Amino acid sequence: MAEQPAEATEQATSPETEAKSPGRSMYIKAVVVVGVIVAIECGVVYLMVPSPEKAAAMVQEAVENDPPELAEPAPEEAKKSEDAAIEVDLDTFSVSAFQPATNTTLRIDFHLYGVTNSENESELLSLLEEHRHRISEQVLVTVRSAELSDLTDASLGLIKRRILEKVNKTLGKPLLERVIISEYSFIEQ
């Protein structure tokens, strides 16, 4: 019986058991490497991110040294820019769109205006007259292809942006700064 424990000891230190221990050592090495990387990253963040007091001081300094072009315009300048903006009548539109999914017809009526600056007014008016039918088609296609949620949105923001983009593309130049939709009526039948 004394020989059996010796054999058990030999089996415990056999090459098979030793082959398993390098796997454990690799696991321990991987954990240590990951731990070191995390510690280095934490140290870098600690050194790079300012304290709340320093951040507040930096913001205060930035506000005090605000460049004049980023500051709010003086009331005279704001009034001049408003005076320079000119509204141009783009027409009244009446659109009917059938919705096969719900078996309903949408009736959308609105008046469309474009806003430009006074420097571009004459060029815009001549291009509008030249491309009147293409612009009308682009507006109708945009409204017909709009989702129901876009048509019921209070500000009609997405539709306005799409119309603005398509009209400026049709004109060949970004002469319109924004579009205004007034007298908007949306009826689902």
Helices 132-144, 121-130: inter-axial angle, 10-degree rounding = 80
Q: What is the mean pLDDT of residues 162-175?
A: 89
In the chain, domain spans: 3-61, 78-188
Comparing 30 with 77, which gets the higher pLDDT?
30
Q: How far is CA 100 from CA 76, 106, 108, 187, in A?
A: 53, 11, 17, 16
Comparing 4 with 43, which gets the higher pLDDT?
43
Buried (b) or exposed (e) across 136-156, using 16+ Cβ within 10 A? eebbbebbeebeeebbeeeeb
Pairwise CA distance, residues 165 & 151, whole Å? 17
Residue 102 has pLDDT above 80, yes or no: yes
Query: What is the reported pLDDT for 165?
Result: 92
User: pTM to 2 decimals?
Assistant: 0.55
Residue with tokens 């571009």: 120
The reply to whether CATH 3.30.479.30 applies to domain 78-188 is yes
Residue 1 has pLDDT above 80, yes or no: no
* CB 128, CB 138: distance < 8 Å: no
- Tokens in use for 50? 């300012």
Query: What is the reported pLDDT for 75?
Result: 58
List, for residues 111-158, the tens digit of each pLDDT value. Answer: 999 999 888 888 888 888 999 999 999 999 998 888 888 888 888 889
* CB 129, CB 181: distance < 8 Å: no
pLDDT-derived band at 86, boundaries 50, 70, 90: confident
List, for residues 19-67, the tens digit of each pLDDT value. Answer: 556 678 888 999 999 999 999 988 888 887 777 777 777 777 776 776 5
Pairwise CA distance, residues 89 & 137, whole Å? 16
Q: What is the mean pLDDT of residues 71-89?
A: 65
Query: What is the reported pLDDT for 82?
Result: 54
